[in-house]
Structure 1
Amino acid sequence: MEMSRSAVAMWTASCLAMGGCTAIVGVDEPYHLADGGGGGGASGGGGSVPRSCADMDAICGPRGDESCCASLVVPGGTFDRGDAEPRLATVSDFRLDRFEVTVGRFRAFVSEYPAAWPVVGAGAHPKIPDSGWRAEWDDKMPVDRDALMAWTHCEDPYYSWTDEVGDRELLPVTCVSWFVAFAFCAWDGGRLPTAAERRYAAAGGDEQRQYPWSSADSAAEPDESYAVYGCGLDGSCEIADLQPGGSRSPRGDGRWGHADLGGNVWEWVLDSFAEEIPLECEDCTVLTPDANHMIWGGGWRSEEETLLTSAFEERSPGGEFAGTGFRCARAP
């Protein structure tokens, strides 16, 4: 049965009063190159275990012995995200999840939905005013658990979600709208990273890497040993081509140990798409009502060029795409 937002609130309040429910707590084709006109393993901030991994063993990573919620510190700094002219962005220290959010982690969110619905202000960047959840976004969310699961079955047969626990628990969850991704990260004790943070992590900050894995002692040009990409270019793409997070670690990792910053699935960021970005900014984002939002990193069905740390696409925030997932950022 479908529930309105007000009905959800009343239902949750009654559950809390009785002590019996969980509380509310806070694609792959054209690409753009961001230029002058475009764009260790500790878990969670403060050492807390994200909700999505509270009952999950350390089963992620190339050896299957890492927390799926491992979150690594990205030391702040300044980098150039311009092309024809310098456009300097400065980010403060933050944590970024080592892996993209998996089907198994998303299942924990589904199990608590709709009590997992965010309150106004949840999921905000601590240094960006008014960057948290907005009341007008409530209507963009699935009305109940069945609707949420139905949304994750987009672009059949390429979605990664299964309604029952199966053999895809370690795959990145896909077919998740920007609004649902935002809500998940808020519920999980984090937030969506800004475009500047996501690109800074992929580029290795002031190393200005062309690809996330690029360095003095590794090849710059991508191949299948660095990233998961390109399976659909010959029309033979299957869901089996999507890989568990960290399948190309450590060879394909970024400067600070993050996996799949290039390839596997595209990732939502906080920002809306903007035709212009400022010449200089500090801990900045762009949030424009009703505008398209941004995805970064390339994906399993994408061309080689989408793996560049400067490559992004714009998408409707209410859309679900089988090539798009997300990861969360957290307090340092």
Structure 2
Amino acid sequence: MPINSHYKLILSILITLFFNACNNEKKAPVVDADSLASCESNLPSRFGVKVDSTFIKKGRVDHADMVYIPAGEFLMGASDEEGRPDEYPQHKVKVSGFWMDQTEVTNASFSKFVKATGYVTTAERKPDWEELKKQLPTGTPKPPDSVLVASSLVFSPPKEIVSLNDASQWWEWKQGADWKHPEGPKSNLKGRENFPVVHVSWDDAQAYCKWAGKRLPTEAEWEYASRGGLKDAKYPWGNEAIEKGEAKANTWQGNFPLNNSKQDGFQLLAPVKQFKPNGYGLYDMSGNVWEWCSDWFRADHYEKQTDVTINPQGPKDSYDPMEPGIPKKVVRGGSFMCNASYCKGYRVTARMKTSKDTGLAHTGFRCVSSQ
């Protein structure tokens, strides 16, 4: 379904409609904007929406449905030539033991949070023009009120073969799309209680973690846990290509984004725990939905890691050379949209980035706890 004229207007104000696919780049000595093109770049973000979670009381952590990840040391980052430039160089990291959710947070769990707190997610809120215009060039005209409505980005596959260099051809702003209505106002969560919650911003994920007495994982914790105890493997299950053998994760098979052969059994999202867990007992560390981490994203962050780091918290600020004016957080793990021809985000070292106020139909999260 094409983006209607009103949404074209707001998209033209917020971004240049030129999306770049996350092609599998070779190792590069210099991190530059062109080499960091990704399926999370230039996505329309939820500008002008303020989220207040200060009213949420810090909960008491419950380790039910969590697994303990033992302390250890590992080499963080890619060691082969499949990584993108921001995955190099490999560097030593030590992490303390921590607890991690076995699965991505589900609709059922998020529903309990909303019922208990009355929290309203970013996608459910109407953008505030006074906040929005602060982030736009001086003199930008106010769009019509019909555009400044609660909405979110949904996956809308094209009907014919398209260039993989323009992701706007399969993303669509849809009014009324949010965590309770994943495909728009006519959809609901009936029968999807065990699916990962989506259309949640980083702020939304933070609010849930606070309520649950937990926190978002650091990028280092996420990668260490994803490896499942394996040394320098490409994927949570080892080095076997995802196309070989039994289905290992919920990703895209076939011609992306036109046709999904569903060899893994799913067209789009899958319920949690549909594939074998990794060595630590964690499910869906590859595919299904991208997962928010606590860290800011900087394209050059790995280059600055010269010594062994202990429990790194990531950079102090964000810098994406493709969109230097938009602060972004790290997302990890890939999604149901990942395909070898377009995005191998299901590799354990793959890093992507998204504006913290943006929710998408393929982005969710899981929590961790140090206690």
- TM score, norm. by length of structure 1: 0.64
Counterpart residue number, 2:196: 172
- Deviation for aligned residue 1:160: 7.9
Q: 2:287, 2:346 within 8 Å by CA — same for their partners in 1?
A: yes
- Deviation for aligned residue 1:197: 0.3
- Deviation for aligned residue 1:204: 2.8
Query: In structure 2, how many angstroms separate the alpha carbons of the residues matched to 1:169 and 1:281?
Result: 39
- Deviation for aligned residue 1:86: 4.4
In the superposition, relative to structure 1, how do residues 266 and 85 fare at CA in structure 2: closer, same or farther (>3 Å)? closer
Give the aligned CA root-mean-square deviation in angstroms: 3.5
Secondary structure of the residue aligned to 1:105 is helix
Query: In structure 2, how many angstroms separate the alpha carbons of the residues matched to 1:37 and 1:77?
Result: 30
Counterpart residue number, 1:88: 92
Query: In structure 2, how many angstroms separate the alpha carbons of the residues matched to 1:33 and 1:72?
Result: 34
- Deviation for aligned residue 1:186: 1.3
Q: 1:212, 1:254 within 8 Å by CA — same for their partners in 2?
A: yes
Worse-superposed segment, 277-286 or 95-104: 277-286
Counterpart residue number, 1:191: 215
Amino acid in structure 2 at the alignment position of 1:103? N
Which residue, 100, 104, 126 being the options, matches 1:100?
A: 104
> Equivalent residues in 2 for 1:1-332 (5 A)?
29-30=21-22, 49=62, 70-82=65-77, 83=79, 85-114=89-118, 142=122, 147=125, 153-155=152-154, 161-162=179-180, 166-205=190-229, 207-214=231-238, 220-223=240-243, 225-230=247-252, 233-236=256-259, 241-248=268-275, 250=276, 253-274=277-298, 275-277=300-302, 278-279=305-306, 280-286=308-314, 287-288=316-317, 291-304=327-340, 305-332=344-371
In the superposition, relative to structure 1, how do residues 111 and 325 fare at CA in structure 2: closer, same or farther (>3 Å)? same
In the superposition, relative to structure 1, how do residues 247 and 319 fare at CA in structure 2: closer, same or farther (>3 Å)? same
- Deviation for aligned residue 1:110: 1.6
1:111-152 CA-partner distances (Å, limit 9, x unpaired): 1334x69xxxxxxxxxxxxxxxxxxxxxxx74xx9639x968
Query: In structure 2, how many angstroms separate the alpha carbons of the residues matched to 1:220 and 1:244?
Result: 24
Query: In structure 1, how many angstroms separate the alpha carbons of the residues matched to 2:26 and 2:328?
Result: 15
Q: 2:124, 2:151 within 8 Å by CA — same for their partners in 1?
A: no
Q: 1:31, 1:306 within 8 Å by CA — same for their partners in 2?
A: no
**Runs ≥4 in structure 1, deviation > 6 angstroms?**
31-39, 156-160
Query: In structure 2, how many angstroms separate the alpha carbons of the residues matched to 1:288 and 1:153?
Result: 26
Query: In structure 1, how many angstroms separate the alpha carbons of the residues matched to 2:330 and 2:346?
Result: 15
Query: In structure 1, how many angstroms separate the alpha carbons of the residues matched to 2:150 and 2:215?
Result: 21
Query: In structure 2, how many angstroms separate the alpha carbons of the residues matched to 1:99 and 1:76?
Result: 20
Aligned length: 247
- TM score, norm. by length of structure 2: 0.58
Identical aligned pairs, as a percentage? 26
Structure 1: gaps spanning 5 or more residues: 1-26, 40-46, 51-68, 118-140
Q: 2:179, 2:200 within 8 Å by CA — same for their partners in 1?
A: no
Query: In structure 1, how many angstroms separate the alpha carbons of the residues matched to 2:281 and 2:220?
Result: 18
Amino acid in structure 2 at the alignment position of 1:80? L
Query: In structure 1, how many angstroms separate the alpha carbons of the residues matched to 2:150 and 2:237?
Result: 33
- Deviation for aligned residue 1:299: 0.5
In the superposition, relative to structure 1, how do residues 193 and 31 fare at CA in structure 2: closer, same or farther (>3 Å)? farther
In the superposition, relative to structure 1, how do residues 165 and 302 fare at CA in structure 2: closer, same or farther (>3 Å)? closer
In the superposition, relative to structure 1, how do residues 315 and 73 fare at CA in structure 2: closer, same or farther (>3 Å)? same
Amino acid in structure 1 at the alignment position of 2:317? T
Amino acid in structure 2 at the alignment position of 1:196? A
Structure 2: gaps spanning 5 or more residues: 1-18, 37-59, 80-87, 127-148, 157-170, 172-176, 182-187, 319-325
1:238-259 CA-partner distances (Å, limit 9, x unpaired): 99521111101x2xx2110100
